[in-house]
Structure formats: C-alpha cells, structure tokens
A = this chain, B = another copy of it.
Amino acid sequence: QSSVTLFGIADAAVRQVKNGSAGSQKQLASGSNATSRWGLRGVEDLGGGMKAGFHLESQINFDNGTADANKFWGRRATVSLMGNFGEVRMGRDYTPTAYNTFADEFGIVGVGSRGIFSYGAGSNLGSPATTVLRADNTVGYFLPNMGGLYGHLQMAAGEGVNGNKYVGGRLGYEAGPINIGFAYGKTETGATTPDFKNYNIQFNYKFGFATLHTLYDVKEWSPRKTKDLSIGATVPVGPGALKVGYTRADRSGGTAGSGFSDADDSTRLGIGYVYDLSKRTAMYTTYGQVSNKGAARSSVLYTPPAGMLGGEKSSGLEFGVRHTF
C-alpha cells in the first residue's frame, strides 16, 4: 500500500578507542554520525485539516547484526492525530528534555558528542528513572506551528514500574538565525526517594559562516546533581562541515567515590569533519576525548568498559560512512 514510507540510516565506522586502564581497542561501530535505524511511518489526510499518522523506528547495529533485543521499536512507536490544534501523540516517544538536546553539532552520537553526558551511563544519576531519553506509555501534545513558537507537553503512565511515571514539557522559539528552547521533566522514583528532575535550555544561533550550539542541561536526583554546559559549532568547509564541541559536566551532592560527588567532574572535547558525497551519503571522521576527575568514569563509549578506573581519560578516533535511505 502506498500509505507507508520505509526509511532508515545505515552508518558504520572503524575506530580506535582508549579508556584508561582498560587499554585501547580497535572496533567496528554502528551509528557514529547518526544512529543506524529503519522504520515505517505514514500520514493520512482526513480532511478538514485533520490528519492521522504513525511512526515506528527500530535501531540497527551494523557491527553485529543485532536489533534492540528488549524493545524492537524502541527508538519510537507512536500513533498521532494532527490538526489545527496541534498534534496528540500516544506511545513510546522521546521526552521533552530529550527533544531539547538534538540540535547538536554531533547529533548526540559518536565519540565526540555531548550525548556522552546527556545519555551515557550514569545519566539518570543512578536513580531508577528510565525517562532520560525516551519514555513508555506516553501521551503527548505538540503545539501547532505558530510563527516560530514550538511546545510539547508529555505525560507517561507509570503502570506500576518504578522510574516510569513522568511529566514534562518544552517551550521554544525558532525563527531566522535563532533557536532557543527550554524543557523540564520530572520522574517518580519510588515512595521514599525524591523525584528525578531534568531541565535544560538550548540556544543555537546561525551566524553567516557557522552555527553555534549551546546547551545547559541540569539533572537532579537529590542530593545528586549534574550541571552540564556544552558549547559547539558547525562550520561549513568545502563540500562538508567542520564540527567542534566542548562540555563541562559539573557533578555534586553524591558521596565520595560514587562518581556523583563534587570531586567527580568531567569534560569532553570533540572535533570532526563530515564530507558530503551526496544529500544522502557522507563520509566522516571524529576525534573525541573525555577527561575525568575523582571517581568520574565518563567514556567516549557512553558506557565505560569494565577495566576503566575513576579519573582516567577516554578518547576515540573514528572514520565512517553514513547513508540515508
């Protein structure tokens, strides 16, 4: 039937990573410029400005041929009704705070991205919250396009699972060179533990010669807290673009040695070049480096390998191909 679109991204890279005492390793990686995926989506015009649609998206790991074993359609599985009123969306979806982080120079993936902190191991501060990037059982409402204003409200039913019950929202403005957005989300973590909170502000600005990307992302699971400030740029150079980015993750409140104490800060530096072979296909290279203090174990691998100790450095260099279909 003509009502469904099959889409996806095939992205693979060779890389060398080094993670302190865990040593260095050659790897084949999947999705270092954009997460490898395939999906189905469709929109039906119902007349009178109304539309119905769905979106299904499944991760592909090109390195070993696996899909997401737990949630096959884990990237997104939503049903929508759209109209002049905006969009009502039900299913598994990104949270508002997550949507607020995507206008990134590195697309939240690869060894050089600020996604290392936003979504890497420990990004829920050790809480049971499952809602840092996406949430199950959500009902969301998106504002219609109103002169650059955008907005998103989302609630997720807990259905008896600790760390699933969520409410959040996002409000922003994108017009001309400016994109600024604020988002806030709160997740219940149990009867006797505080809510997990996440709020962030993104500010992107398109200069004539480059785009500036900034994000200030705060996560809190009292007394643990992390304040991550990122700044980056995308600079068109030749038939592609140079990308640079820096993040300082300022952790506090956790007990000594927990990886969430005042002494456990980290920084990340990423630099890369994406060479466009066509609109759909690009070659890319990225270098990323994470410096950790105290018991911090952030890694360019998002999840640190077992042998890596607190305070050690992590770095990676990758060369890949990204093909959109």
| Bound CA–CA A67/B7 (angstroms) | 19
B42 touches A325 (CB 8 A): yes
Within 8 A of B (CB), among A41-89: 42, 44, 46-47, 50, 52-54, 56, 60-67, 69-79, 81
Chain A 116-145 per-residue mask, 1 if CB under 8 angstroms from chain B, else 0:
000000000000000000101111000000
Contacts of A269 in B (CB 8 A): none
Q: For the complex, is A38 an interface residue (Cβ under 8 Å from B)?
A: yes
Q: For the complex, is A188 an interface residue (Cβ under 8 Å from B)?
A: no
Contacts of A50 in B (CB 8 A): 277
Within 8 A of B (CB), among A85-120: 90-92
Q: For the complex, is A40 an interface residue (Cβ under 8 Å from B)?
A: yes
A24 CB to nearest chain B CB (Å): 11
Q: For the complex, is A28 an interface residue (Cβ under 8 Å from B)?
A: yes
B25 touches A64 (CB 8 A): no
Q: For the complex, is A317 an interface residue (Cβ under 8 Å from B)?
A: no
Contacts of A81 in B (CB 8 A): 283, 321
Contacts of A73 in B (CB 8 A): 60-61, 65-67
Q: Number of A residues contacting the other chain (C-beta, 8 Å)?
A: 69
Q: For the complex, is A227 an interface residue (Cβ under 8 Å from B)?
A: no
Contacts of A60 in B (CB 8 A): 56, 73, 77
| Bound CA–CA A137/B61 (angstroms) | 10
Say yes or no: A72-B77 contact (C-beta < 8 A), given A8-B40, A280-B3: no
Say yes or no: A277-B63 contact (C-beta < 8 A), given A25-B159, A137-B28: no
A-B pairs with lowest CB-CB distance, top 8:
A10-B54, A65-B92, A67-B72, A28-B137, A12-B90, A64-B136, A65-B77, A62-B91
Q: For the complex, is A278 an interface residue (Cβ under 8 Å from B)?
A: yes
A65 touches B54 (CB 8 A): no
The 26 sampled A-B contact pairs (Cβ below 8 Å) are A1-B5, A1-B325, A4-B8, A10-B54, A12-B79, A13-B90, A27-B137, A27-B157, A27-B159, A38-B40, A40-B325, A42-B325, A44-B323, A50-B277, A52-B278, A60-B73, A61-B77, A62-B77, A62-B91, A63-B136, A64-B136, A65-B75, A65-B91, A65-B136, A66-B71, A72-B72
